[in-house]
Amino acid sequence: MSISLTEKAAERAQKYLKTRGKGIGLKLGVKTTGCSGMAYTLEFVDDISPEDKVYESHGIKILVDPKSLIYIDGTELDFIKEGLNEGFQFNNPKVKDSCGCGESFTVWHKIILKYLTFLCSLISTLIGSRNLIE
């Protein structure tokens, strides 16, 4: 399992940390939102929580909570400039699909989980119906 930064992303993170005047690194995660189901979170952090998984890339500490790790394991964080826009970009090999605006994404694990939840619900309904008939 790993999370990494490109040199550009590490340089930008270091610049932001220096401007902030404090901080130990970046915390990456995911939250449930958007039209595709999940969105990335990124914040500068001052402390490490006991449950956080800690990585280091190009001298920058990267913290990830265990619940997010399953969705972003293997991700490389880059920093890109396109015209007047610039920002961090998540290059996640687990992404199956993303929405048109690029704000949210779906991973195979999430699709499989939804399918299994549906199947369990269906089986439960069928078993419940059978018990009512007998």
**Residue 17 within a domain:** yes
Confidence label for 28 from pLDDT (cuts 50, 70 and 90): very high
Better pLDDT: 64 or 115: 64
| Beta carbons within 10 angstroms of residue 96's beta carbon | 13
Q: CA 4 from chain center: how many Å?
A: 13
Look at the chain and report how many structural domains it folds into: 1
| Residue 127 covered by a domain | no
Q: How far is it, in rounded angstroms, from Cα 47 to Cα 64? A: 12
Answer yes or no: is 85 within a domain.
yes
For strands 95-98 and 25-33, give the pairing: unpaired
Return the bridge partners of 27, or none. Answer: 43, 63
Structural domain range at position 46: 4-107
The answer to whether residue 45 is domain-embedded is yes
Q: What is the pTM of this model?
A: 0.69
Q: Which residue is listed with tokens 């939804």? A: 114
With respect to residue 130, please indicate whether it lies within any of the assigned structural domains: no
